[in-house]
Every structure is written in C-alpha cells, then in structure tokens.
Amino acid sequence: MPKLKKVLVTYIWLSIVRLDDVRLDDVRLDDVQLDDVQLDDVQLDDVQLDDVQLDDVQLDDVQLDDVQLDDVQLDDVQLDDVQLDDVQLDDVQLDDVQLDDVQLDDVQLDDA
C-alpha cells in the first residue's frame, strides 16, 4: 500500500487517474482539480482540501477522518460505502451527487 505523510500538494491538475489501496495522512491539497478520477479503498486522515474541483469522481470504500473541505465543488460524484468522521464542509456545491451506504458522524455543513 503506498503511503504519503506530511505532503503539501498545490496547483496540480490530475486527469484520468486511478488511486487504488492508498493511504494519505496529514496531507494538504490546495487549488487542485480532479477530473475523471476513481478512488478505491482509500483512507484520508487529517487532510485539508482548499479550492478543489471534483468532476466525474467515484469514491468506493473510502474513509475520511478529520477532513476539512473549503470552497469545494462536486459535480457528477458517486459516493459508495464512504465513512465521514469529523468532517467540516464550508462553501461546498453539490451537483448530481449520489450517496450510497454513506455514514456521516460529527459533520458540520456551512453554506453547502
């Protein structure tokens, strides 16, 4: 399993990417666009996403723990078997999003 710790990713455009069995720990993504991305069996811990656009993204068996989403746009996103713990959503736009078997614990929605 690839593991990334203490990583700052900024001004990145990822297109047609598949991440499988990946763990991201203490990662910050700033001004990132994810297009046609599939995430399978991914764990995100202590992650901050700022100014992120997610288009045509599929999340399967993903755990989000202590994640902050600021100014995020979700278009045509499918969430399947996703667990959200201690997640804060600020200024988030959800458009054509499907939620299946999603657990929300201690989630704050502001201007969503």
Domains, the chain, ordered by start: 3-105 (2.160.20)
What pLDDT is stored for residue 6 in this prediction?
62
Please count the CA atoms within 13 angstroms of the CA of 16 that sit on its side-chain side.
0
What is the mean pLDDT of each successive set of 10 residues along the chain, which is 112 residues long?
Answer: 59 67 72 77 78 79 77 77 74 74 70 61
Angle in degrees, CA 30, 34, 38, rounded to 5: 130
What pLDDT is stored for residue 2 in this prediction?
55
Is-above-0.85 flag for pTM?
no
What pLDDT is stored for residue 109 in this prediction?
67
Cβ(45)–Cβ(64) below 8 Å:
no
What pLDDT is stored for residue 111 in this prediction?
65
| Other Cβ atoms closer than 10 A to 64 | 21
